Structure formats: C-alpha cells, structure tokens
C-alpha cells in the first residue's frame, strides 16, 4: 500500500468487542501504513496484572485507581512483535491468561482507572501517526478523529478465534464452550459499565469480520483511510 504524507498526523481508532480481531488487524494496518500501534486493552491488562500481584481486592476501586496511576506502561517492538512493558518488565505473555482477562473486565469498569489510562493514551497519540485499538478509542479517547472503525463478529466466531489463539500460545485453557461463555460475560461487563461502555461511535465504519480474513479487514481499513485523506486533500 502506497505511503501517503498525511498519515503522519492521523489517529486511527479501532473499537470492538473481545475476540473481534482488533489487535491483529490494527497491527497489520500499522505495518501497511507505517503507523505506530497502541494496544489500549493491553494497558488495562497490565493494570489488572499489577493489582493481582499486589493482592489488591478487585472490589476496591480506590486502590485499583492508585495502581493505574502508579503504573509505567509502554510498548516496544521486537522484530515483528509488539511487546507490552510494565514498570520495566516485559509482561506480554503474563497479561494474556484467561484469569487476567476476567480480572481486566472488572478493572476496566473502574472510573478512576479509565480516567488515568485515558490521560496516558491521549499523550501517546497526541503527535499522530498512530493506530489505537480498544473499546472507547473513537468515543472517548479520540472522539474527533475522522478515522473511526468498529469491527465485530458473532459471539461464536469470536469465541472460537480466542480459544484457538490461546491454544496456539500454549495457554492452560478450558474447552471452547467455556471460552465462549467467558467472552459473553466479558461482553456484558463491557457494554453495561457506567464509565465508557462499549458502544459504536455514530460516525464509525462498521465492519463485520465474521466472513473475512484478518488480512482482508486490514486491507479494507487501509483503503478507507487513504480515501478519507484524499477527500480531505491531505493525500
């Protein structure tokens, strides 16, 4: 995909539920367009991991907020892999366990945690040239960006994808049915929380990835971004 000068100043927001393929698609788009990829979900997972290690009660909102404010979270690209760094430690694998996934739903519902991480996320993206994925990028973090996408898939397909992903990573996981059930529970928490619930921005492009490969989704997003830039005269 050709390089376009206007890409250096843009922020692409990719939102959607768990297992929709946000991370894989966003990484592919970043590679195609020469952008920096920022995984906001990994940031919440990092907070959940730190809280768990510190044995913070997961119903103690104040302590969880303190954990979030005290975290140093960054991303480092190693070869073709984006690594998550928490307080100087590479926690890329540690934050992807099923247990941390469930804890993350609780942590991400805490208003103080979300506010603390939104400040950090906005700082990471303020210079532009980034693609950021999560659940509230286009609605809360960067609501004014014209490059908004909401990617989705059926619960069954998302559950199968996540189960396969965890198996490939050698994770100790339950059967596929249990994975789908856990994902349904995560969906309910994400969409019903008071602070920044998972909703599609009114002006976001909706993409159902159920019948598509992740490469096809990445190509479609890349093409749409270039079209928007051309319409705005920034190509």
Tell me how crowded residue 167 is: count the other CB atoms within 10 A of its CB: 12
Name 130's bridge partners.
11, 36
Alpha helices (runs of H) in 126-169, residue ranges in sequence order: 155-168
* 47 or 185, higher pLDDT: 47
Q: What residues contact 177, with CB distance under 8 A and at least 6 apart?
A: none
Q: Is the pLDDT of residue 213 over 60?
A: yes
Question: Higher pLDDT residue, 50 or 105?
Answer: 50
Over residues 123-131, mean pLDDT: 94
**Selection from 103, 70, 96, 77 nearest residue 173 by Cα:** 96
Residue (of 127, 166, 139) closest to 40 by Cα position: 139
Cα separation of 153 and 31, whole Å?
23
- State how far the Cα of 108 lies from the Cα of 45, in Å rounded to an integer: 9
Q: Characterise 86 by phi-psi region: left (phi > 0), alpha (psi -120 to 50), beta (else).
A: beta
What confidence tens digit (pLDDT) does each residue in 129-147 have? 999 999 999 999 999 999 9
Ranking 140-149, 153-162, 218-227 by mean pLDDT, the lowest is 153-162
All structural domains of the chain, each given as residue ranges with its CATH number in brackets, are: 7-226 (3.40.50.300)
Per the CB < 8 A criterion, the answer to whether 202 and 13 are in contact is no
Per this entry, what is the length of the chain? 235
CA distance 160 to 166: 10
In this predicted structure, what is the pLDDT of residue 142? 97
Q: What pLDDT does 227 receive? A: 93
With 80 as the cut, is the pLDDT of residue 207 above it? Answer: yes
The pLDDT-based confidence of 164 (bands split at 50, 70, 90) is confident
Secondary structure (DSSP) of 174-223: --HHHHHHHHHHHHHHHHH-SSS-----TTPEEEE-TTS-HHHHHHHHHH
């Amino acid at each position: 995909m050709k390089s376009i000068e206007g890409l250096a100043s843009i922020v692409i927001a990719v939102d959607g539920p768990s297992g929709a393929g946000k991370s894989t698609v966003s990484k592919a788009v970043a590679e195609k367009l020469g952008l920096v990829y920022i995984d906001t979900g990994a940031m919440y997972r990092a907070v959940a991991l730190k809280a768990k290690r510190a044995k913070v009660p997961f119903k103690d909102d104040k302590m969880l907020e303190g954990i979030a404010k005290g975290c140093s979270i960054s991303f480092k690209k190693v070869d073709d892999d984006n690594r998550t760094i928490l307080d100087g430690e590479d926690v890329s694998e540690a934050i992807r366990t099923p247990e941390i996934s469930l804890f993350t739903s609780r942590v991400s519902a805490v208003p103080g945690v979300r506010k603390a991480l939104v400040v950090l996320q906005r700082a990471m993206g303020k210079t532009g040239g980034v693609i950021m994925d999560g659940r509230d990028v286009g609605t809360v973090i960067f609501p004014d960006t014209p490059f908004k996408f909401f990617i989705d898939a059926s619960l069954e397909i998302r559950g199968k994808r996540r189960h396969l992903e965890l198996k490939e990573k050698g994770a100790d996981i339950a059967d596929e049915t249990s994975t789908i059930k856990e994902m349904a529970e995560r969906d309910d928490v994400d969409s019903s929380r008071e602070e920044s619930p998972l909703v599609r921005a009114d002006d976001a492009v909706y993409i159902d990835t159920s019948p598509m490969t992740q490469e096809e989704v990445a190509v479609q997003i890349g093409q749409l971004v270039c079209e928007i830039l051309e319409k705005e005269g920034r190509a």
